[in-house]
Structure 1
Amino acid sequence: MKDMGHGFTLVDRSIYLYDSEKFTRLKKTIDYDSFEMIKAFEDKNFYFRDKNRVYVTSYMCNASVIEGAKPESFKVINAEDGIGYDGNNYYWYDTCLPYDYSKAVKYNEYYVRAGDKVYFLTSIVEGADANTFNIIWQNVARDSKSLFFKGIIVPEVDVETFKTVPGCFDADHLNQSHTYYAADRNNVYFINTIGKAIKRLAGVKPSNFSVKIVDNRLYGISGKDVYFFGIKKKGLVLG
């Protein structure tokens, strides 16, 4: 048995994190005689290499080969953010970045600027103006013409008047880290930053919409209608 550090052990041709076997899908790929840990960040990100390849296992990705990375020159630049470099390319976890990370400027943990282009994680944000691009909240951003959610333009939003509905963050509530309501001059929207899309509340007028936090839950109110998670709740009356 070989202790590899941070709870990892190598037993014969099997790799364990404590009592759980890892890298099972890569058993026929790994060169066990040269397999070693490069670096780790807490219990979240772990980098390894053998004489042929570089590997990563993380809360962001399953145990994977970092395709194209050179094991002899690979270094972990930022273990917390999952950034590696092999002298030629930068990598975000198991994905080769399409830009020079050393020259990029981070807007936040999701968006970066490289030259005159904006990227969401590893993908270019089509149509984004880097000179006017700014973050609204987490993976929601805008430039002078468009609103972006997870790097994709949200159509038919009046970006000049788009803003968070007052009261969404006035008190603690469940899912506060990723849910809120927003509005422009024409529509009201429910935003769940871990969801698939921004939801427009059909027929709801911004001038008649407000929010209320009750029992640690965020509700939207439009006249007599009550919304929870962007869904109208029939018969629900808030105290």
Structure 2
Amino acid sequence: MGRKDIGNGFAVIDDKFILHFDSEVYRKFYGIIEFASFEIIQSNGSTFHYFRDRNHIYLESYMNAFCVLTDADVTNFHIIDFENGMASSLAMDYVFDKKLTYRLADVKELGGLYQQVGDAIYCAYFQQVESADAETFEVLHGERIGNLAKDKNHIYFRQEIVADADAASFRILEQCVSGNYYRECDHTFYALDKQRAFYIDTIARSIKPIRTKSLEQFRFEVRDGLGYALDAEYRYIHGKRSRL
């Protein structure tokens, strides 16, 4: 049996199949892969790999299953930022397995999930924030929240407008982002505007209004490692209320 080790636990066997740590991989692509020239471009050794053969560029990552990188040119391909899945070929740029409609060189990172390209705002590179005003657009606590932003007209959660939220008065409760630990402090937050309160869960990708009759008393406290919002009548955990 002819075995060609190509690094990071990968081996090509008899120019017929591929092993990764002795488990066969990528079988449904065997009709495409040119085994004799198949090699690693860059790999983290476990979950993220760029490959090439004489015909194609291939990618497997924590963001996508093994695939052919569409339209990538084997002789003109380079990785720009391996950790973030950024690569380039000819006049095209990629983030993981997807082609961008603009060039990475034109991107201004705004923090969190947001980017600016000219007068356009994007969320996670591919979702354009259609109504965004680039001049006044800002990410709210991008180091902690990342997918919440505002401009002069709207509040945005990811690329969507938050209905009925007042951009001028909207704010995250300071106690949520002050650095004090509470359980799930990495993804659950509360906010206020002049009309209502909101519960934010960035993992669940949701922002929900909270009905309160005492908005002026709405606040956030940490008790025994749990983060609670409170008003005159109720306390709230994970956005759900119970009587005080």
Q: Report the TM-score, using the length of structure 2 for normalisation.
A: 0.86
Secondary structure at 1:141's aligned position in 2? strand
Q: Which of these residues, 102, 105, 110, is aligned with residue 107 of structure 1?
A: 110
RMSD of equivalent CA atoms: 2.2
Between stretches 219-228 and 129-138, larger displacement belongs to 219-228
Alignment of 1:113-192 (within 5 A): 113-121=116-124, 122-136=126-140, 137=142, 138-170=146-178, 171-192=180-201
Secondary structure at 1:62's aligned position in 2? strand
- Residue in 1 that maps onto 2:42: 39
Q: What per-residue deviation string (whole Å, max 9, x for no partner) do you get for residues 92-146 of structure 1?
A: 0000011111121111252111111111121211011111111103011111111
Q: Which of these residues, 53, 60, 64, is aligned with residue 50 of structure 1?
A: 53
Q: Is the 8 A contact 2:212 2:231 kept in 1?
A: no
Distance 1:156 1:25, change over 3 A: farther
Q: Does 1:6 align with 2:11?
A: no
Q: Percent of pairs identical after alignment?
A: 29
- Residue in 2 that maps onto 1:196: 205
Q: Is the 8 A contact 1:5 1:37 kept in 2?
A: yes
Give the whole-Å Cα distance in 2 for the aligned partners of 1:143 and 1:55.
Answer: 39
Matched length: 235
- Residue in 2 that maps onto 1:228: 237
Distance 1:230 1:204, change over 3 A: farther
Give the whole-Å Cα distance in 2 for the aligned partners of 1:197 and 1:14.
Answer: 44
How far residue 15 of structure 1 moved from its aligned partner, in angstroms, is 3.5
Secondary structure at 1:107's aligned position in 2? strand
Which segments of 5 or more consecutive residues in structure 1 lack a partner in the other structure?
none
Q: Is the 8 A contact 1:41 1:79 kept in 2?
A: no
Q: Is the 8 A contact 1:186 1:205 kept in 2?
A: no
Q: Does 1:213 align with 2:215?
A: no
| 1:63 alignment partner AA | F
Between stretches 189-198 and 16-25, larger displacement belongs to 16-25
Secondary structure at 2:206's aligned position in 1? coil
How far residue 24 of structure 1 moved from its aligned partner, in angstroms, is 4.1
Q: Is the 8 A contact 1:78 1:84 kept in 2?
A: yes
| 1:127 alignment partner AA | S
Distance 1:44 1:131, change over 3 A: farther
| 1:113 alignment partner AA | Q
Between stretches 83-92 and 115-124, larger displacement belongs to 115-124
Q: Report the TM-score, using the length of structure 1 for normalisation.
A: 0.88
Alignment of 1:47-126 (within 5 A): 47-121=50-124, 122-126=126-130
